[in-house]
């Protein structure tokens, strides 16, 4: 098959992934492309996905979205991090905040100073040196030029998709309602040439983006890209999702509460709270999980919990021939650190950077796939960390997590930190040194040693520096408004406008 310039882009699927791809391509390359999106209301979307990470702000800025409008349309609240409860031991609680812990230097992370202080018998909890953590615990939020704060959002992913659709269609994205019945391929090259809809309509394209969710209609059912199954490292395979009404206080953080064979999420939006239980079917039946979830809701459920089954892992090739998989069709790692929407956004951003205008796919797809592999694996390791470092032995699930083999890449990170306190963020790592430190220390992994940068100050100056930092954070937080009040003022609901 001869290469031909890529002009016609066809997006299969209109969930969060489909409309994210459409919005980004239309905004950045719109005049150069002819973009069509096919979706089926009858099939619907996965209908979950509420917690995000700060990279969404960069992405929204790339799309030129107005933040207040975005928040109003997606019922969003602000998020400063995640509180992990019962993870290392029953009754434990730690926080993974989005901000940096203290002030690091080129020589090493702030945690080294903190470890030195601890060894000398002073210093507070590590979270006391992180502004975002303290603000979250106090239920406060504000945007200020003088105190930059790192945050993301809790949002309704279905409304986000709808919002992105409203931004995409005026930029020329054509939407076709219909079910894809068959995928046509060039007999020689295997490239996808068209989607045949049940209605008989034929949608031709040069480049196809598979956003059909877990089905992977193009990337897997047609191109057989293959799937790397990671259930031996991340054994949960089911989730029950439900919503409750809004609560008096809207927490500016996600709660991830470890339960019998998995964990429960609580995600407060402006108008409701998203709840769900992620669990492992080998250790807990659906009925047991349902009972556990319903017994631990704050407020009455708005409908019966909905079951979703999944296989944790990654598509071996996110980009095969002229098809790029985005979203659930490219793989899934459970939502413990809210990374799925980020992976969609980073995937489409990379596609824009590597867009195959001339129709040559081979070299570009090889590099794209390599980036995607490393990205997925680093996130996977970070999630496994939470399970592996558990000390719980009260249920068969947690004993299995504690005793499981883990990837070599993670073995090395844990050993490094345990022996020397050294934590790092590699070039392809999404999570910062502070993130790794928050989780490792939160999971009770206290290093045996640390860098002696703090000794350059001496005990007295180190103590003064820590006290001053803690004091200025506490003072800053005191002057902030309550999250709920700030939300009301920043993006008032239409009726109170």
Among 75, 112, 168, 212, binds ligand FAD (CB under 6 A): 212
Determine the interface stretch with ligand FAD among 75-83, 228-236, 336-344, 348-356 (rule: CB under 6 A).
336-344
We find the least distance from the C-beta atom of residue 10 to ligand FAD, in angstroms, to be: 11
Determine the interface stretch with ligand FAD among 34-42, 165-173, 228-236, 458-466 (rule: CB under 6 A).
34-42
By C-beta, is 115 or 293 nearer to ligand FAD? Answer: 293
We find the least distance from the C-beta atom of residue 455 to ligand FAD, in angstroms, to be: 42
We find the least distance from the C-beta atom of residue 84 to ligand FAD, in angstroms, to be: 15
Considering the rule CB under 6 A, would residue 220 count as an interface residue with ligand FAD? no
Considering the rule CB under 6 A, would residue 22 count as an interface residue with ligand FAD? no
Q: Is 15 annotated as belonging to a binding site?
A: yes
By C-beta, is 153 or 361 nearer to ligand FAD? Answer: 153
Query: Contacts with ligand FAD in 229-248 (CB under 6 A)?
Result: 239, 241
We find the least distance from the C-beta atom of residue 383 to ligand FAD, in angstroms, to be: 12
We find the least distance from the C-beta atom of residue 93 to ligand FAD, in angstroms, to be: 20
By C-beta, is 14 or 205 nearer to ligand FAD? Answer: 14
Considering the rule CB under 6 A, would residue 75 count as an interface residue with ligand FAD? no
Contacts with ligand FAD: how many residues (CB under 6 A)?
38
| Three-state SS letters, the chain | CCCCCCCEEEEECCCHHHHHHHHHHHHHHHHHCEEEEEECCCCCCCCCCCECCCHHHHHHHHCCCCHHHHHHHHCCEEECEEEEECCCCCCCEEEEECCCCCCCECCECCHHHHHHHHHHCCCCCHHHHCHHHHHHHCCECCCCCCCCCCCEEECCHHHHHHHHHHHHHHHCCEEEECCEEEEEECCCCCCEEEEEECCCCEEECCEEEECCHHHCCCCCCCCCCCEEECCCCCCCCEEEEEEEECCCCCCCCEEEEECCCEEEEEEECCCEEEEEEEECCCCCCHHHHHHHHHHCCCCCECCCCEEEECCCEEECCCEECCEEECHHHHEECCHHHCCHHHHHHHHHHHHHHCCCCCCCCHHHHHHHHHHHHHHHHHHHHHHHHHHHCCCCCCCHHHHHHHHCCCCHHHHHHHHHHHHHCCCCCCCCCCCCHHHHHHHHHHCCCCCCCCCHHHHHCCHHHHHHHHHHHHHHHHHHHHCCCEHHHHHHHHCCCHHHC
Considering the rule CB under 6 A, would residue 15 count as an interface residue with ligand FAD? yes
Among 273, 328, 372, 491, binds ligand FAD (CB under 6 A): 328
By C-beta, is 241 or 242 nearer to ligand FAD? Answer: 241
Q: Is 14 annotated as belonging to a binding site?
A: yes
We find the least distance from the C-beta atom of residue 473 to ligand FAD, in angstroms, to be: 28
Considering the rule CB under 6 A, would residue 40 count as an interface residue with ligand FAD? yes
Considering the rule CB under 6 A, would residue 275 count as an interface residue with ligand FAD? no
Q: List contacts with ligand FAD (CB under 6 A).
A: 13-18, 38-40, 43-46, 48-52, 157, 179-180, 211-213, 215, 217, 239, 241, 276, 308, 310, 327-329, 335, 338, 340-341
In the annotated binding site for FAD, the residues are 14-17, 328, 337, 341
In the annotated binding site for 7-chloro-L-tryptophan, the residues are 79
């Amino acid at each position: 098959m001869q290469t031909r310039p890529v002009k016609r882009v066809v997006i299969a699927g209109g969930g969060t992934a489909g409309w994210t791809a459409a919005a980004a391509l239309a905004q950045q390359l719109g005049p150069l492309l002819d973009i069509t999106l096919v979706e089926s209301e009858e099939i619907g979307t996965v209908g979950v996905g509420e917690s995000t990470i700060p990279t969404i702000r960069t992405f929204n800025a790339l799309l030129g979205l107005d933040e207040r409008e975005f928040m109003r349309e997606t019922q969003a609240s602000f998020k400063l991090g995640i509180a992990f409860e019962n993870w290392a031991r029953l009754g434990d609680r730690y926080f993974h905040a989005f901000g940096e812990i203290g002030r690091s230097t080129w020589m090493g992370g702030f945690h080294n100073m903190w470890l030195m202080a601890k060894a000398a018998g002073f210093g507070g909890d590590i979270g006391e040196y992180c502004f975002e953590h303290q603000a979250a615990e106090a239920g406060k939020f504000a945007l200020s030029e003088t105190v930059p704060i790192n945050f993301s959002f809790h949002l309704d992913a279905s409304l986000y998709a709808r919002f992105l659709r409203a931004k995409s269609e005026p930029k020329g994205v054509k939407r076709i309602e219909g079910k894809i019945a068959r995928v046509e391929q060039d007999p020689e090259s295997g490239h996808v040439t068209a989607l045949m809809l049940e209605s008989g309509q034929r949608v031709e394209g040069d480049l196809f983006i598979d956003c059909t969710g877990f089905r992977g209609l193009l990337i897997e059912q047609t191109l057989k890209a293959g799937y790397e199954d990671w259930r031996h490292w991340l054994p949960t395979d089911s989730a029950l999702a439900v919503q409750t009404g809004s609560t008096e206080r809207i927490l500016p953080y996600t709660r991830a509460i470890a339960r019998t064979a998995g964990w429960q999420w609580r995600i407060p939006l402006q108008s409701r709270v998203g709840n769900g239980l992620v669990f492992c079917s080998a250790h807990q039946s659906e009925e047991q999980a349902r009972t556990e979830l319903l017994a631990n809701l704050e407020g009455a459920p708005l409908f019966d919990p909905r079951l979703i089954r999944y296989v944790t892992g990654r598509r071996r090739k996110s980009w095969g021939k002229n098809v790029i998989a985005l979203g659930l069709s490219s793989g899934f790692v459970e939502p413990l650190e809210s990374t799925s929407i980020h992976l969609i956004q980073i995937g489409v951003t990379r596609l824009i950077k590597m867009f195959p205008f001339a129709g040559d796919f081979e070299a570009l797809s090889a590099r794209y796939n390599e980036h995607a592999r490393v990205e997925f694996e680093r996130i996977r390791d970070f999630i496994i960390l939470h399970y592996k470092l558990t000390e719980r032995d009260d249920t068969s699930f947690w004993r299995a997590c504690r005793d499981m083999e883990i990837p070599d890449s993670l073995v090395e990170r844990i050993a490094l930190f345990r022996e020397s306190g050294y934590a790092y963020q590699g070039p392809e790592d999404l999570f910062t040194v502070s993130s790794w430190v928050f989780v490792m220390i939160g999971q009770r992994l206290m290093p045996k040693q640390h860098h002696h940068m703090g000794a350059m100050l001496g005990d007295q100056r180190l103590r003064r520096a820590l006290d001053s930092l803690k004091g200025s954070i506490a003072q800053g937080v005191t002057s902030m408004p309550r999250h709920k009040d700030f939300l009301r003022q920043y993006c008032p609901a239409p009726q109170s406008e």
